[in-house]
């Protein structure tokens, strides 16, 4: 989901910043242009890590700025479809839950949570499975699979996730499933070893 990407660009240094070190002025310009924005093919640019700037720039007629070639290293976030990740539930609504995935929130639609009828408790912000009794609340840790990504140029983007597959869902549910799947003889061995100590 996170990548360190190198890009090349032209940076304009205005006359008001001629007194600053060139690298510092270029870094500020690149941060203004990229940080906190979604860039096609790069995804969400979390931060500009470093910039190398050519000390020799060019001047254009009737423009006081100098233009320099720059190479910048960007920390980018781009979730890929089918990628598995973990995050924390930050909001519960009647139509699902929002999970913090890197710098953005992904939607876990109510139909993608589990194979059960789910009720929403608005007062306590809880989603509960009718048959299983399993609950989702704000602060729960979730393992999910990315099913839809729509990152458009600018500052908006949408990510859809699912937990309706084996070994996905609330971390506590996964642990319970693994314990149930463990052969009884292994459980008995573990109890016997624990009892001996």
**Domain limits, the chain:** 2-77, 84-174
Q: How much of the chain, in percent, has pLDDT values that exceed 70?
A: 90
- Average pLDDT of the residues of the chain: 87
The SS3 call for residue 178 is helix
Would you place residue 36 in the very low, low, confident or very high pLDDT band (cuts 50, 70, 90)? Answer: confident
Q: What is the pLDDT of residues 90-109, one digit of tens each?
A: 999 999 999 998 888 899 99
Residue 197 reports pLDDT greater than 50: no
Residue 42: Cβ-neighbour burial (10 angstroms; 0-12, 13-18, 19+): middle
Tell me if the pTM is above 0.85. no
The CATH T-level fold of domain 84-174 is OB fold (Dihydrolipoamide Acetyltransferase, E2P) (2.40.50)
CATH number of 2-77: 3.30.1490.120
Would you place residue 185 in the very low, low, confident or very high pLDDT band (cuts 50, 70, 90)? Answer: low
Cβ partners under 8 Å of residue 195, min gap 6? none
Q: What is the pLDDT of residues 111-164, one digit of tens each?
A: 999 888 999 988 888 998 899 888 999 999 999 999 998 877 666 778 999 998
Higher pLDDT, residue 91 or 40: 91
Would you place residue 43 in the very low, low, confident or very high pLDDT band (cuts 50, 70, 90)? Answer: confident
CA-to-CA distance for 190 and 182, rounded, in angstroms? 11
The distance of Cα 145 from the centroid of its chain, to the nearest Å, equals 12
Look at residue 107 in the predicted model and tell me its pLDDT.
93
Q: What is the DSSP string of 25-91?
A: HHHHHHHHHHTT-EETTTEEEEEEEEEEE-S--EEETTEEEEEEEEEEEEEEE---TT-EEEEEEEE
The residues with which 85 forms a beta bridge, in sequence order, are: 144
The two tokens of residue 7 are 């890009």
Q: Which of 144, 142, 155 is nearest to 83 (CA)?
A: 144
Look at residue 40 in the predicted model and tell me its pLDDT.
80
């Amino acid at each position: 989901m996170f990548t360190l990407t190198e890009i090349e660009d032209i940076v304009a240094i205005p006359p008001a910043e001629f007194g600053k070190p060139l690298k510092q002025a270029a870094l500020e310009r690149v941060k203004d242009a990229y940080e906190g924005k979604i860039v096609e093919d790069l995804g969400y640019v979390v931060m500009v890590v470093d910039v190398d700037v050519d000390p020799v720039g060019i001047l254009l007629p009737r423009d006081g700025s100098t233009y320099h070639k720059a190479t910048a290293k960007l920390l980018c976030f781009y979730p890929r479809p089918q990628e598995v990740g973990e995050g924390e539930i930050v909001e519960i609504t009647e139509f699902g839950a929002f999970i913090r995935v890197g710098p953005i929130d992904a939607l876990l639609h109510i139909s993608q949570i589990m194979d059960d009828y789910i009720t929403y408790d608005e007062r306590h912000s809880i989603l509960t499975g009718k048959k299983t009794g399993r609950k989702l609340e704000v602060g729960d840790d979730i393992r999910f699979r990315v099913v839809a990504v729509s990152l458009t140029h600018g500052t908006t983007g949408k990510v859809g996730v699912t937990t309706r597959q084996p070994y996905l869902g609330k971390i506590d549910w996964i642990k319970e499933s693994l314990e149930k799947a463990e052969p009884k003889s292994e459980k008995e061995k573990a109890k016997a070893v624990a009892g001996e100590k």
